[in-house]
Structure 1
Amino acid sequence: MHRAAVRAFRTSHRPSVRSQVRNTGRHHLHHARQSSTSHVPLRSSMYFRRLPVALASGLILGYGAWHYNGAEFVPGSAVTRSFTNTQAADAAPTRTVLVVGADELRQGTIVGEGPLYKSSTEDGRRIVEMLTPDQATAKLRRQEQSFYVNRGQGVTRYDLVQLGSNDPIEDDHAEKIVEVPTRVTEDEVSSSDWMFWGVFDGHSGWTTSATLRESLISYVARELNSTYKASSNAAPAPEAIDSAIKAGFTRLDNEIVHKSVEKVFKASSKAVAAELLQPALSGSCALLSFYDSRSKLLRVACTGDSRAVLGRRTKSGKWIATALSEDQTGGNPTEVARMRMEHPGEEHVIRNGRVLGGLEPTRAFGDAVYKWSRDVAGRLRENFFGRSPSPLLKTPPYVTAEPIVTTTKIEPENGDFVVLATDGLWEMLTNEEVVGLVGQWIETQKTGRPSSQFDKAWSKVFGSQSKPLPVEQGREAAGFDGKTPIRLQQWGIDPDARDRFVVRDKNVATHLVRNALGGANDEQVCALLTLPSPFSRRYRDDLTVQVIFFGHGDKTSEKTGDVTVNLDATTDQDPRARL
């Protein structure tokens, strides 16, 4: 192999999905200049899962944030099954609101038509008007995108969506295609694709995940390029490919955590320190998939507790869910054993399921307070700024960015798909539910008949006509201990309840998020989407979901473009792009 050409078909935070696809360009990978991540302009917790309020089954959350001006506020109970208000024709209009306090979440009603203004009550409660179902849907779809991949290389489409709970959202994501020319004969060159999809779950800030969005795929692609070139025309050994991916991860983390400190000490400037140390002091999990269209092998590299799950159809027509990664947290016995072996005699290396009693993921980018020595941390704090290390810190580093890599043979002819998502999705839905929901969505697209208001009215009178999710049951536990997802426990929802799920979205990633938040229960979906930051963080995390569909499609000409926006499943954030 002589070279690989990088083709980026999108990254997040761009002005328009249409302009991004139009402006896609090619650059030679091995000639690409490796820029310092410290100077990448960044644009733009999950580990503190307090559960102060249990929600009753079927209930929609009360919400609150602002005071009502010139009208009467009527408090409601914490448990309600309906926000419908019956009133006389001449009665003053009412609006449903949520009331949020330190330890309360309940529904109330605003009587009158005056505006809500931005002031809080003396007791710290907040009052906000409930989103309507249409407004909730608009919020769900605000960050959705969908692309057709017309390259004839085994991938036909991918959908993605983001929904923030933190403000700004601490999640991020990135996608790239690397076109790999290979000489077949002296006069003939063929090409295959390396395709990358990544989701990055930030914590204690957004800067680390933004750095991964800007740089991680490039770091990994460079390592892979070097590895393939070193093996001449023969494919490298599987172990060498895995090592290249791991090297890309660890080298970027070294740049974030250690090279940044060297630059700060050299510059001796607090302004430089403020810029360079942000990605080191915050942190991020990373989940990166790498698909080689020539070998049809999908490698998934996981650092932290984001998760990848494969959906594959069986002869029965149902789908099987297979996890392609394992959550790396203080609740994973394998990770606990590794940590105790690497730090013998340190009783509290994992305490209360967390690293030194603080950080839940055992692998992450950034989180430098678990990686710097006491000397480095002390010098930074004395001369610039920083955090005090834990009194339990004895033999750092305790946290590593090195991923665990799994390899799976993809079957494009069978219509395999893969779901990549940050842990905000998996604390609401099991692997099997996610795969079954995608299968349900696929069936609905074939029939062209999504759920309607008539369907809902019919089910109330005559009972549900819906079928169970088309997924094989009992293949995998919900988690390490097989428990119901944590948010369903918090909300008091019966995981076996009938008619929980619904199909209303053309973007399958949005479809998954809607059903994670309540599905057919419009009131719960509206309430969870109404909750403002930071209150929303008690009930849901940031969400980033990608779904990749494999299959055999034809390659389109360069004139029409081989990666195109699926307008039916994409919400364009830039109105100028429509002109």
Structure 2
Amino acid sequence: MRRAIVQNLRTFRRPTPRKAIKSLRISGPNNVVFQRSIASRNLRPLHSSMQFRRLSAPLALGVGAGAIYYAYQNNAAGTSANAATTAASLSGSQARGYTSTPSAAYATSSSSPVSGLEPDQVPEAVRKALIVEQGQLFTAQIPADVPISKETDSSGRKVLEMLTPDQAAAKLRKNEESYLVNRGEGVVRYDVVQIPSNDPIEDDHVEKIVEVPGSTAAAEPGKTSSDWMFWGVFDGHAGWTTSAKLRETLVSYVARELNTTYKAALQDPKLTYPTADSVDAAIKSGFVKLDHDIVHDSVQKVLKAQSKRVAAELLAPALSGSCALLSFYDSRSKELRVACTGDSRAVLGRRGSSGKWTATALSQDQTGGTPSEDARLRAEHPNEPYVTMNGRILGGLEPSRAFGDAVYKWTKETQDKMKKSFFGRTASKHLKTPPYVTAEPVVTTTKVDPAQGDFVVLATDGLWEMLSNEEVVGLVGQWLEKQASASKTSTSTASWLQSWFSTQKASLPVDHHDDGAEGGQRAPIRQQQWGVESGKDERFVVEDKNAATHLVRNALGGKDKDMISALLTLPSPYSRRYRDDLTVQVIFFGNGESTGNVELNKEASATASNGVEGVKAKL
């Protein structure tokens, strides 16, 4: 998650955009072919030589200082030969080249491809390698019979073989899950995927369907119960413990508050259904109570126990933090509520009169840079000029609403006590009148029309850094068209898809642009960083059966398989300079078959091969 605990991380994450890539073939020993990637401000499209796919712009935009070094060794000849590399300084505006010479170096230049290596001399069987050296990024092609050595000399130079497109696809799909909701209650399917960048991943997610008896929530005529359906994504920062806590407990806290509210409405002779304000208040109450337990009750329990083991267990979710985006769908009212704490985002896709989709944001990014949040914080903390600084709370934390993050909620006295007796962090020098961060969400309500096939995408900010609201909705619409076209011989799945579409269009089927700019939503900064032009639909591709995986694939490069492979090859923590943890949920509304169960959709779930059984809907 993009969090500025370290002040200069902001500079790393938002370098000046580079718009083009130059490539260079260099002849080295063992027929190793290197590709030079140079960031440039030249807006003209540049192409690499015929031996290579062009390395995409983001792969040339290394920032900060790297710690991984790479070299190549040919054991067949019994000697080591390390090839020279050329690089661009990506932290400045002017590219520079240099040569690395551990044992055998080869001079390079920035002119045309080096003579002496004709196209027909390039080995047919090659592997690709990814090289990161002091913040610069390269690719290279090496013959299939040349071994790669992990340790080549005393300086600890290492090699990293680039994932093949098939390996990259397998990594994309490793954590994908899809479920068919055959309950006839307005939801037909939901797809989920997670791609880690941090190790371990700091994101988490939850999906739960609760069958509610009519004694709690008045059911529709002819029915004895209704469904409460929950989906949530949790974007952790400074650790994974807070997001894991939310996965385990947030739905239960909210469901208890809703249960009380719905029962109270049934006891009122003037009501058959709770008011909208009371439902919103119940959701907010569930959020706030859980955060109070995490941040404040944990302190009382630790002080009572006087045990560092207990402190380590209870204080971890308080000292780390997490944003939370929780959606609640009531099958009786057909209302979808989205509760947002932080900067994860929900977007609704709905078909317009033209047959294309419209994109509507259902949440607002809540950061210190959001005008409404900045105004709220300054009103709550008058005469504190540093309450927001550079778009961050007290100059440190970016989200203005979050669970945990006790250093922005505890008094200085509590922080000093915890740090002295157990452990903790140093309070900000600007801390005066905490709390500065709240877990109370902003709740929006949308009437869903299952007959029209609405869908909702919930995702952590790792996705929205790469794609706009319009692109996300258009990509799901494109995916739906492809699935409808490909599933004409299928049974139940085809019925709700084919009723919408007849032909597949080449461009993204979106006719309304809602990027949320006026609502405080940020533009995709990775597109700016990588030099990707928005609105270029030809860069997208449909290759996945899981809609969430489809979104992530196109966020990471789409048709540019080199870009996808390189971004997924980089290990943690270096990958965080290029991409964040990614968690995406796509919920499809529709009038599907009613069988009473939620079934694993084996066609779009990686876990299907592991023998995972269908999931019961009742909790």
Query: What range is the shorter-chain TM-score in?
Result: 0.7 to 0.9
In the alignment, the residues of structure 2 paired with residue 346 and residue 514 of structure 1 have an alpha-carbon distance, to the nearest angstrom, of 44
Q: Is 1:228 matched with 2:224? A: no
Show the counterpart of 1:383.
Answer: 421
- CA offsets, 1:254-310, max 9 Å, x none? 111111111111111111111111111110000000000000000000000000000
Q: Is the 8 A contact 2:377 2:387 kept in 1?
A: yes
Give 1:215-254 correspondences, 5 Å limit: 215-232=249-266, 234-254=272-292
What's the % identity of the aligned pairs?
59
Cα 1:554–1:502 change in 2 (3 A) is: same
RCO higher in structure (CA 8 A, sep ≥6)? 1
Q: Is 1:551 matched with 2:590? A: yes
In the alignment, the residues of structure 1 paired with residue 148 and residue 445 of structure 2 have an alpha-carbon distance, to the nearest angstrom, of 54
Q: Which one of 510, 519, 526 corresponds to residue 549 of structure 2?
A: 510
Q: Which one of 100, 109, 134 corresponds to residue 102 of structure 1?
A: 134
- The alignment partner of 2:588 has SS state of strand
In the alignment, the residues of structure 2 paired with residue 120 and residue 205 of structure 1 have an alpha-carbon distance, to the nearest angstrom, of 34
Q: Is the 8 A contact 2:350 2:357 kept in 1?
A: yes
| Worse-matched range after superposition: 175-184 or 200-209 | 175-184
Show the counterpart of 2:198.
Answer: 166
Q: Is the 8 A contact 1:101 1:126 kept in 2?
A: no
Amino acid at match of 2:526: R
In the alignment, the residues of structure 2 paired with residue 251 and residue 109 of structure 1 have an alpha-carbon distance, to the nearest angstrom, of 55
Give 1:259-274 correspondences, 5 Å limit: 259-274=297-312
In the alignment, the residues of structure 2 paired with residue 418 and residue 577 of structure 1 have an alpha-carbon distance, to the nearest angstrom, of 26
Show the counterpart of 1:447.
Answer: 485
Show the counterpart of 1:192.
Answer: 226
Amino acid at match of 1:169: I
Show the counterpart of 1:27.
Answer: none
Cα 1:189–1:154 change in 2 (3 A) is: closer
In the alignment, the residues of structure 2 paired with residue 124 and residue 343 of structure 1 have an alpha-carbon distance, to the nearest angstrom, of 51
Cα 1:515–1:296 change in 2 (3 A) is: same
Q: Is the 8 A contact 2:149 2:158 kept in 1?
A: no
- CA offsets, 1:3-44, max 9 Å, x none? xxxxxxxxxxxxxxxxxxxxxxxxxxxxxxxxxxxxxxxxxx
Q: Which one of 203, 207, 219 corresponds to residue 175 of structure 1?
A: 207
Cα 1:98–1:54 change in 2 (3 A) is: farther
CA RMSD of aligned residues (A): 2.9
1:224 shift after superposition: 0.4
1:197 shift after superposition: 0.2
Show the counterpart of 2:83.
Answer: 74
- The alignment partner of 1:286 has SS state of strand
TM-score by length of 1: 0.82
Q: Which one of 201, 206, 219 corresponds to residue 240 of structure 2?
A: 206
Show the counterpart of 2:445.
Answer: 407
- The alignment partner of 1:240 has SS state of helix
Q: Is the 8 A contact 2:55 2:139 kept in 1?
A: no
In the alignment, the residues of structure 2 paired with residue 428 and residue 91 of structure 1 have an alpha-carbon distance, to the nearest angstrom, of 35
In the alignment, the residues of structure 1 paired with residue 152 and residue 470 of structure 2 have an alpha-carbon distance, to the nearest angstrom, of 43
Cα 1:107–1:121 change in 2 (3 A) is: farther
1:315 shift after superposition: 1.6
Amino acid at match of 1:204: A
Q: Is the 8 A contact 1:99 1:126 kept in 2?
A: no
- The alignment partner of 1:235 has SS state of coil
1:76 shift after superposition: 5.0
1:334 shift after superposition: 0.3
Show the counterpart of 2:2.
Answer: 46
Q: Which one of 522, 531, 553 corresponds to residue 561 of structure 2?
A: 522
TM-score by length of 2: 0.77
| Worse-matched range after superposition: 390-399 or 176-185 | 176-185
In the alignment, the residues of structure 2 paired with residue 477 and residue 208 of structure 1 have an alpha-carbon distance, to the nearest angstrom, of 28
In the alignment, the residues of structure 2 paired with residue 429 and residue 260 of structure 1 have an alpha-carbon distance, to the nearest angstrom, of 38
In the alignment, the residues of structure 2 paired with residue 537 and residue 118 of structure 1 have an alpha-carbon distance, to the nearest angstrom, of 22
- The alignment partner of 1:231 has SS state of helix
1:101 shift after superposition: 2.9
- The alignment partner of 1:572 has SS state of helix
In the alignment, the residues of structure 1 paired with residue 294 and residue 153 of structure 2 have an alpha-carbon distance, to the nearest angstrom, of 43
Cα 1:520–1:90 change in 2 (3 A) is: closer
Q: Is 1:329 matched with 2:367? A: yes
In the alignment, the residues of structure 2 paired with residue 573 and residue 347 of structure 1 have an alpha-carbon distance, to the nearest angstrom, of 54
| Worse-matched range after superposition: 328-337 or 104-113 | 104-113
1:376 shift after superposition: 0.5
Show the counterpart of 1:41.
Answer: none
Cα 1:91–1:294 change in 2 (3 A) is: closer
Show the counterpart of 2:98.
Answer: none
Amino acid at match of 2:601: N
- The alignment partner of 2:384 has SS state of coil
In the alignment, the residues of structure 2 paired with residue 365 and residue 314 of structure 1 have an alpha-carbon distance, to the nearest angstrom, of 37
Q: Is the 8 A contact 1:74 1:108 kept in 2?
A: no
- CA offsets, 1:89-138, max 9 Å, x none? 79596432111133211223445635445448777765311111111100
Show the counterpart of 1:16.
Answer: none
Q: Is the 8 A contact 1:101 1:124 kept in 2?
A: no
Cα 1:510–1:73 change in 2 (3 A) is: farther
Q: Is the 8 A contact 1:74 1:109 kept in 2?
A: no
Cα 1:375–1:522 change in 2 (3 A) is: same
Q: Is 1:435 matched with 2:473? A: yes
Q: Which one of 581, 596, 601 corresponds to residue 566 of structure 1?
A: 601
In the alignment, the residues of structure 2 paired with residue 168 and residue 120 of structure 1 have an alpha-carbon distance, to the nearest angstrom, of 29
In the alignment, the residues of structure 1 paired with residue 412 and residue 558 of structure 2 have an alpha-carbon distance, to the nearest angstrom, of 48
Show the counterpart of 2:501.
Answer: none
- CA offsets, 1:299-352, max 9 Å, x none? 000000000000000121100000000000012100000000000000010001
Cα 1:416–1:188 change in 2 (3 A) is: closer
Show the counterpart of 1:7.
Answer: none
Cα 1:90–1:348 change in 2 (3 A) is: closer
Larger Rg: 1 or 2? Answer: 2
Give 1:307-322 correspondences, 5 Å limit: 307-322=345-360
Structure 2 residue runs of 5 or longer lacking an equivalent are 4-8, 22-53, 63-67, 76-80, 89-109, 489-503, 614-619
Q: Is the 8 A contact 1:170 1:203 kept in 2?
A: yes
In the alignment, the residues of structure 2 paired with residue 180 and residue 165 of structure 1 have an alpha-carbon distance, to the nearest angstrom, of 38
Structure 1 residue runs of 5 or longer lacking an equivalent are 1-44, 451-464
Cα 1:482–1:370 change in 2 (3 A) is: closer
Cα 1:496–1:312 change in 2 (3 A) is: closer
In the alignment, the residues of structure 2 paired with residue 120 and residue 356 of structure 1 have an alpha-carbon distance, to the nearest angstrom, of 46
In the alignment, the residues of structure 1 paired with residue 274 and residue 225 of structure 2 have an alpha-carbon distance, to the nearest angstrom, of 17
Q: Is 1:533 matched with 2:568? A: no
1:476 shift after superposition: 3.6
Q: Is 1:155 matched with 2:187? A: yes
In the alignment, the residues of structure 1 paired with residue 233 and residue 118 of structure 2 have an alpha-carbon distance, to the nearest angstrom, of 46
- The alignment partner of 1:162 has SS state of strand
